[in-house]
Amino acid sequence: MKKAPIKKTELSKTQEYAIQGMLAEGKTVSEIAQFLKKARAIVEAYIKDNAPKPEPPALPKELRAGDFIINKSANQKSGVAIMTAGASEKGDESRKSVTGQATTSKTRNVIYKINKDR
């Protein structure tokens, strides 16, 4: 005697959500089937058909100075650009790696220093 194919409609939406929740809690298939009063084969078929697919790990993004700049005001309106200390350090660091010094000859003339001794 052949077994009848298991129909997906044998589980209600509520039961499907219950299965997902119980799986997240670490319950076994037998415990879930017993709680829902459904055949173990039905629960196993649902889990097999709806198993979450593993997501590939996200690659870490290299941070740039622009990632540290605040460009929205407190009331979420644009038109503001504030460079944080982290952005300033990151920008200086990248500039040093390219030119070997923090300022270029082009920018050195436009930077005002309060104390010329420094």
Q: What's this model's pTM, rounded to 2 decimal places?
A: 0.39
Would you say residue 114 lies in a domain? no
Output the pLDDT for position 11: 87
Q: Are residues 17 and 41 in the same domain?
A: yes
Q: Contact, 112 vs 103, CB < 8 A?
A: no
Q: How many degrees, rounded to 5, is the angle at CA 43 between CA 37 and CA 44?
A: 145
2-55, pLDDT tens digit by residue?
655 545 458 888 998 899 899 889 899 999 999 998 889 898 988 888 876 677
Q: Which domain holds residue 90?
A: 65-108
42-80, pLDDT tens digit by residue?
989 888 888 766 777 777 777 776 677 777 777 777 667
Output the pLDDT for position 6: 47
Q: Are residues 43 and 15 in the same domain?
A: yes
Selection from 82, 78, 88 nearest residue 70 by Cα: 82
Would you say residue 60 lies in a domain? no
73-117, pLDDT tens digit by residue?
777 776 677 777 877 787 777 766 655 555 666 666 776 677 766
Q: Are residues 45 and 71 in the same domain?
A: no
Dihedral Cα 90, 94, 97, 102, nearest 10 deg: -80
Would you say residue 104 lies in a domain? yes
Output the pLDDT for position 74: 72
The total number of structural domains that make up the chain: 2
Would you say residue 117 lies in a domain? no
Measured distance CA(83)–CA(62) in Å, rounded: 18
Would you say residue 86 lies in a domain? yes
Cα 76 to the chain's mean position, in Å? 22
User: The domain spanning residue 27 has which CATH number?
Assistant: 1.10.10
Q: Are residues 70 and 99 in the same domain?
A: yes
CA distances from 111 to 17, 53, 93 (A): 62, 54, 18
Q: Are residues 70 and 45 in the same domain?
A: no
Amino acid residing at 40:
R
Would you say residue 31 lies in a domain? yes
